[in-house]
Each structure stands twice: as structure tokens, then as C-alpha cells.
Chain A
Amino acid sequence: MNRKNSNKSRNPNKPTLAFYFLRALACINKKTSMASYNQRSGTIKRAAYASMALAAGPKRAWSRAVLCRVLWWGSSRLHGFPTRRRPRAFFHRRVRVADPKLREPSKADVLRRLVPGAKAMDLSRLLEETAHYIQYLRAQVLLMQNVVGSVSD
């Protein structure tokens, strides 16, 4: 795709987003074996990020990184792999205590850690990915708010 189209593809396609997420929710709803509340909540969260990444398509580094993580997570649970080598704790966000000997990370580095797949990016690409990521994150949050609103009616 040439540069002109990249601006158009920026705006999240809301029906596509809704389709992927609601389909995932319907599947989760059918699986009554998922008894534990935490399990279900974690599955919904992963479904949210996965549908966000699917709607964004494979052209973005963040969407590829998110899909890799979700697929890794799913396959390791399916096959009972030991979770020793889990990906960087994206789905279980723990607070990391910074090593006082190291210099405080720059704000760009903090951003690189927050945006998936952005670890080794230069500043301009990082800003571009961040903008795209924020648009999709926001659309996903709005979608989930709508769903919560319509289900609680």
C-alpha cells in the first residue's frame, strides 16, 4: 500500500472491530466450563486485544506483536507448555522496580515498553505506531463500553 492510503487505513473500522470482539464474546459465553472469574476476565481481555489487532491488520508492528502474544498464550495453554519462557508480562502487568544503578529510562523508552512491538524503533516510527495504537485502543474501549451498556440494559 502506498503512503496515501496509510492515512485512510488509520481510522479504525468500527464494524470490523465489533464483529471480531462480539464473535469472541459469543464463543466465551458458550464455554461454560470456564468457571473461574479470573480466567474468564483474562480471556475477555485477551479477546479484546486480539480483535483489536485483527481489525488493525498485519501491517502494523503493534498488531503483529499482540497477535503473536495471544497465539503464543493460547497454544501454550492448549499444549500444556511450561510457562517458564512467557513473553514479557503484557497480560499480567506487574510493577517493575527499577535498578537504581541504571539511569532512569527516557520517556521514549517508557513509551517503547508500553506500545507492543515497539522495542527497537526509532523515534519517528515509534510516534507513528503510538498514534495508530492509541486510535485502536480508544475504539476498542468505546466498543467495550457500548457492549457493557447494552448488556446491562
Chain B
Amino acid sequence: MSSRRNRISDEEINELISKLQSLLPESRRRNIGRASASKLLKETCSYIKSLHREVDDLSDRLSDLIATMDSNSPQAEIIRSLLRS
């Protein structure tokens, strides 16, 4: 691992690490405090896993909702969501 690192400067790695830290949500950032690379990687992994779980959960809920939806509402719902975002 260290031999690979020599090609990329430590400065660049630190910059990427701080960028990554800025992406984590507030609550997780507070737990890490000053970024140690190892803690940051661990937090990133658990954040990604939680996002994957969210997607799974939301897919299940959407599946439920779609089953009970009538044919008229998808169009309205599409337009509404597009306008909102």
C-alpha cells in the first residue's frame, strides 16, 4: 500500500479526505472530529451502507404505493415531483 502511495502526494490524499469528510452528514462528522483517515473510511463505509439500506427500504415502500395507485395519479405525481425538484 505504501509503495502505491508514493506516486500520489500525501497532500492530495489529505485534500480528498477533507472533501470526503465534507460530504458526510453533520451527525457523523461530529463523531469523527478532526479527520483521521482510518475513522473517515469507516464512517464513509457505514454511511454508504446506510444509504443502500435507505434505497432498499424506499423501493419496498414505493412498491407498496404503486400497487395501490390508480392509473391517473402517476402523471400528476410525475409533474408535481419534477416541478418541485
**Binding-face segment, A78-86, A96-104, A122-130:** A122-130
Give the interface residue-count category, chain A.
35 or more
State whether the Cβ of A131 lies closer than 8 Å to any Cβ in chain B.
yes
A26 near B65 with CB under 8 A, answer: no
> In whole angstroms, how far apart are the Cα atoms of A130 and B7 in the complex?
20
B63 near A133 with CB under 8 A, answer: no
- Shortest Cβ distance from A36 into B: residue: B63
**Among residues 99 to 153 in chain A, which have CB atoms less than 8 Å away from a CB atom of chain B?**
106-108, 110-111, 114-115, 122-124, 127-128, 130-131, 133-135, 137-138, 140-141, 143-148, 150-152
> In whole angstroms, how far apart are the Cα atoms of A151 and B80 in the complex?
10
A123 near B62 with CB under 8 A, answer: no
Give chain A nearest CB distance to B29 CB in angstroms: 13
Contact with A134, one of B23, B55, B62, B69 (Cβ below 8 angstroms): B23
Interface centre among A48, A110, A133, A151 (most CB of B within 10 A): A151
- Shortest Cβ distance from A113 into B: residue: B45
- Shortest Cβ distance from B39 into A: residue: A107
Give the interface residue-count category, chain B.
35 or more
B62 near A147 with CB under 8 A, answer: yes
B32 partner residues in chain A, CB cutoff 8 A: none
> In whole angstroms, how far apart are the Cα atoms of A138 and B54 in the complex?
10
B73 near A151 with CB under 8 A, answer: yes
- Shortest Cβ distance from A40 into B: residue: B63
Give chain B nearest CB distance to A123 CB in angstroms: 6
Extra pairs beyond A110-B41, A143-B85 (7, CB < 8 Å)? A22-B78, A45-B55, A110-B45, A115-B48, A127-B20, A131-B16, A147-B62
